[in-house]
Amino acid sequence: MADKMELRDVEVWDGNMAASQAMRQVQIDVVAAYPITPSTPIVENYGNYLANGYVDGEFVMVESEHAAMSGCIGASAAGGRVATATSSQGFALMVETLYQASGMRLPIVLNVVNRALAAPLNVNGDHSDMYLGRDSGWIQLDAYNPQQAYDLNFIAFRVAEDHEVRLPCMVHQDGFLTSHTAQGVKTLDDDTAYNFVGEFKPMNDMLDLDHPVTHGVQTEEDWHFEHKARQHNDLMTKVFPKIEAAFDAFEKLTGRRYNIVETYNTEGADAVVVCMGTSVETAIEVAKELRADGKKVGVIGIRVIRPWPHAQIAEALKGIKAIGALDRSSPNGTFGMLYNELAGTVVNSGESKVLTNYVYGLGGRDLTKVHLREIYAELLANAEAGKPTTPLQQLIGVRGPKISFH
Amino acid sequence: MSEMKKIKNLKEFSTSADRFEGANLLCPGCAHSIIVREVLNATNDDLILAASTGCLEVCTAVYPYTSWDASWIHIGFENGSTAVAGAEAMYKALKRKGRLKQPDREPKFVAFGGDGASYDIGFQWISGCFERGHNMMYVVLDNEVYANTGGQRSSSTPIGASTTTAPAGRVSYGEKMNKKDMLAIMAAHGSPYVAQVAPNKWKDMVKKIQHGLATEGPVFINAMSACTTEWKFLPEDTIAISDLATDSLVFPLYEIIDGRKLNITYRPKNVIPVKDYLGAQGRFKHLFKPENKHVLDEWQARVDRDWEYLQRREEAGV
């Protein structure tokens, strides 16, 4: 039996500490992990809990991220609670196994501390790794600060392990900006935290020796589509009600409210930016200041990236005239992912909206309040004109001559 | 530890209840199915199994069917070892936490992989599992070629073999590299038990599998798996070809305990020439042209040298 840890009601934790404490509290059975900046402290903290008797599961320090997720898959199929953490290149190395984990319907939780992808090599935060995972069949939740990194882990285990869902779940946080920035985090005591997630209930577990199971079969054109179709269908139809229910239960427990799509000052707004991660908090600051100046602007933060909350975003964008999609990943030859996804959501809204794309913050470059003020000014001009007054895609905060397209 | 299964004779062995069903899609004459049945039938232990992508995997778990009457997992090409290691870690965790459904039973963890999955693409994963000391057995079904994808060379392909990626041609005798010595590499990991087996020597096989399953820690078994399709011999000749391999000492049967102590477990009464083994297979046919005689000579010299080395190591007892 693992020892309980006494926590203060509010601890000063960075995002990595917050995530690792949540992992400790839900009493994971197997963590197979490999360290990589900036998620390394999650793995180190977990090792520290183990060394001091606060964890009684298995901690397998493997030789690569691919092996980390491979071990997680084997452990999860065996029948127990499983999680790990990674970033960037490690995430990229894991990609093959991410598809295998979700296709095998294994409820693994992966903390992804977002970081840029090489080349050039870069250890700082952007959303390239997060975007790389978007078609992998996982649920993806996004935290904007350490408190959320803590809270969303409990949501992730509860939803992923639900027998109607049985899909793995990523909890994203921004490298360094969240992972290494200490803030006040309101905690749950160990029992309350564990009980929110509850005891792991195995299904098709290999270790049930009286009921052998075959995991990871071959399907070709005869059955492959049916498997993928069911997985997609479950992502589209079963996940949101479970997330919603988990958010409700979490609010009842803690008073902290989460939403599939987070909206700030969107009521009566002419222009909004849509973004993810720590940028949401910066944008809120700027939007507040602009509102005080009488500018009708707001912020939409994506909380659930996958499944894509089409209906919730469409609802949140009702009446909004100009939208700035902020992508923190190099699109490498097209519009940013957020722009394209929003375009897909907006195009059938029956309302005329101007949608433009800003690519920002690559490799940890700051998104400043000055940048956001400029963006809002352009968006308000678009709202006023009822058409784009700027190029559709602009790179902001980058040296040299202005780079923009279309 | 559970009691070791007593096996009296081949008839009893070959007809005992199978946890690997005959209903599978492997080629007629494929040694994989013989080896897997021998491994599984050697024990009454509960088994948790894994397979890497390859012939065995694609032929035994095609939805909605399965040939496995024991829990089995396949993830990818390179990670069958780590799949079973993850399951073994979960077993340890649930045992400690008192959550096993059958707490009085102690399953064994066994992964199968071809030589491509083991010598090449999955090598790092196996090395990691062995360094960490998982309580598991890894069995290579070594047919010396990427058979599942149509016969490309692997690092287990022996010199002179013609494969689709290193074919014999007007100016080439085929494979230029010697086969990788996986047993030595795995023994160097400090594995408590590594052994080479062949399906034709079923008693030797059973003894080694039983010893391996009774051993704590990661155990490595390299099983020669004659491939009727890629080695190019008739399906009914699988065991005859296997006999030629073990009797020519091309595939010597031995074990290494605790990374050091080597025992030879089969000494042919009449050692046959290597060319008799090579000549029985289409993949070496071109070696019998006059211009390739030097390859045949080198083959025999190398097998002699390797056998000498094994005997010396055995004698030295270290």
Q: Choose the closest CB to A56 out of B61, B96, B107.
A: B96
Chain B residues in contact with A64 by the CB 8 A cut-off are 124, 128
Q: Choose the closest CB to A64 out of B48, B83, B124.
A: B124
pLDDT at A251: 98
Is the CB of B61 less than 8 angstroms away from the CB of A218?
A: yes
| Average pLDDT of the residues of chain A | 98
Provide the shortest C-alpha distance from residue B45 to chain A (in Å).
Answer: 11
| pLDDT surpassing 80 at residue B318 | no
pLDDT at B4: 81
**In the beta sheet, which residues pair with residue A114?**
A174
Question: DSSP for chain B?
Answer: -PPPPP---HHHHHHSPPSB-S-S-PPTT-HHHHHHHHHHHT--S-EEEEE-SSHHHHHH-BTT---BSSEEE---SS-HHHHHHHHHHHHHHHHHHT--SSTT---EEEEEEEHIIIIITTHHHHHHHHHHT-S-EEEEEE-SSBTTTT-B--TTPPTT---SSS-EETTEES--SPPP-HHHHHHHTT-SEEEEE-TT-HHHHHHHHHHHHHSSS-EEEEEE---IIIII--GGGHHHHHHHHHHTTSS--EEEETTTEEEE----SSPPPHHHHHHTSGGGGGGGSGGGHHHHHHHHHHHHHHHHHHHHHHHHT-
Q: Domain boundaries in chain B?
A: 10-316
Across A222-246, average pLDDT? 98
List the CATH code of the domain at A261-405: 3.40.50.920
Q: Choose the closest CB to A207 out of B58, B90, B97.
A: B90
Within 13 A of A310's CA, how many CA atoms are on the CB side? 13
A361 band by pLDDT with thresholds 50, 70 and 90: very high
Beta carbons of A47 and A12 less than 8 angstroms apart: no
Is the CB of B75 less than 8 angstroms away from the CB of A78?
A: no
Is the CB of B87 less than 8 angstroms away from the CB of A206?
A: yes
Distance CA B72, CA A57 (A): 23
Is the CB of B75 less than 8 angstroms away from the CB of A73?
A: yes
Is the CB of B50 less than 8 angstroms away from the CB of A74?
A: yes
ipTM of model? 0.97
Distance CA A130, CA A361 (A): 14
Q: Choose the closest CB to A67 out of B63, B99, B128.
A: B128
Chain B residues in contact with A213 by the CB 8 A cut-off are 71-72
Best CA proximity match to B192, nearest among B111, B259, B263, B109: B259
Across A28-49, average pLDDT? 98
Residue among B49, B82, B132 with most chain A CBs within 10 A, to mutate: B82
Chain B residues in contact with A30 by the CB 8 A cut-off are 86, 89-90, 93
> If you count residue pairs, one on A and one on B, with CB atoms under 8 Å apart, how many are there?
168
Residue among B90, B95, B101 with most chain A CBs within 10 A, to mutate: B90
Is the CB of B72 less than 8 angstroms away from the CB of A212?
A: yes
| pLDDT surpassing 60 at residue B1 | no
Residue among A1, A26, A30 with most chain B CBs within 10 A, to mutate: A30
Beta carbons of A130 and A109 less than 8 angstroms apart: no
pLDDT digits (tens, 9 = 90+) for B130-185: 999 999 999 999 999 999 999 999 999 999 999 999 999 999 999 999 999 999 99
Is the CB of A207 less than 8 angstroms away from the CB of B100?
A: yes
Q: Which residue of A has its CA nearest to B89?
A: A58
Provide the shortest C-alpha distance from residue A100 to chain B (in Å).
Answer: 6
pLDDT at A1: 83
pLDDT digits (tens, 9 = 90+) for B172-215: 999 999 999 999 999 999 999 999 999 999 999 999 999 999 99
Q: Which residue of B has its CA nearest to A227?
A: B63
Distance CA B178, CA A203 (A): 46
Chain A residues in contact with B102 by the CB 8 A cut-off are 208-210
Beta carbons of A351 and A319 less than 8 angstroms apart: yes
Across A245-258, average pLDDT? 98
Provide the shortest C-alpha distance from residue A24 to chain B (in Å).
Answer: 14
Q: Domain boundaries in chain A?
A: 10-193+222-254, 261-405
Is the CB of A206 less than 8 angstroms away from the CB of B69?
A: no
Task: Count other C-beta atoms under 10 Å from residue A287's C-beta.
Answer: 24
The third-level CATH classification (topology) of the domain covering B10-316 is: Rossmann fold (3.40.50)
Is the CB of A63 less than 8 angstroms away from the CB of B124?
A: yes
Is the CB of A66 less than 8 angstroms away from the CB of B87?
A: no
pLDDT at B251: 98
Across A33-56, average pLDDT? 97
Q: Choose the closest CB to A100 out of B46, B75, B102.
A: B75
* Tokens, residue A199: 């005891």
Chain B residues in contact with A227 by the CB 8 A cut-off are 63
Q: Which residue of B has its CA nearest to A205?
A: B71
Q: Which residue of B has its CA nearest to A62?
A: B128
Is the CB of A217 less than 8 angstroms away from the CB of B66?
A: yes
Chain B residues in contact with A205 by the CB 8 A cut-off are 101
CA atoms B37, B41, B43, B47: torsion sign: positive
Q: Which residue of B has its CA nearest to A29?
A: B93
Q: Which residue of B has its CA nearest to A28?
A: B93
Distance CA A378, CA A380 (A): 5
Distance CA A337, CA A360 (A): 13
Sheet holding B254-257, edge to edge: A214-215, B71-73, B47-51, B108-114, B137-142, B219-224, B193-197, B254-257, B261-264
Across A196-222, average pLDDT? 97
Chain A residues in contact with B87 by the CB 8 A cut-off are 74-75, 77-78, 206-207
Best CA proximity match to B37, nearest among B243, B187, B171, B206: B206
| pLDDT surpassing 60 at residue B2 | no
Provide the shortest C-alpha distance from residue B286 to chain A (in Å).
Answer: 37
Is the CB of A62 less than 8 angstroms away from the CB of B63?
A: no
Asked if domains A10-193+222-254 and A261-405 share a fold, the reply is yes
Chain B residues in contact with A80 by the CB 8 A cut-off are 90, 93-94, 99
Chain B residues in contact with A100 by the CB 8 A cut-off are 75-76
Distance CA A7, CA A27 (A): 16
Distance CA B143, CA B151 (A): 10
pLDDT at B8: 84
Is the CB of A212 less than 8 angstroms away from the CB of B102?
A: no
CATH architecture of A10-193+222-254: 3-Layer(aba) Sandwich (3.40)
Distance CA A334, CA A340 (A): 9
Distance CA A140, CA A133 (A): 9
Is the CB of B63 less than 8 angstroms away from the CB of A219?
A: yes
Q: Which residue of A has its CA nearest to B105?
A: A209
| pLDDT surpassing 60 at residue B113 | yes
Beta carbons of B223 and B35 less than 8 angstroms apart: yes
Is the CB of A71 less than 8 angstroms away from the CB of B71?
A: no
Burial (CB count within 10 angstroms: exposed 0-12, middle 13-18, buried 19+), residue A370: exposed
Please state the three-class secondary structure of A320-349 as a single string.
CCEEEEEECCCCCCCCCHHHHHHHHHHCCC
Is the CB of A75 less than 8 angstroms away from the CB of B87?
A: yes
Provide the shortest C-alpha distance from residue B13 to chain A (in Å).
Answer: 23
Chain B residues in contact with A216 by the CB 8 A cut-off are 61, 73-75
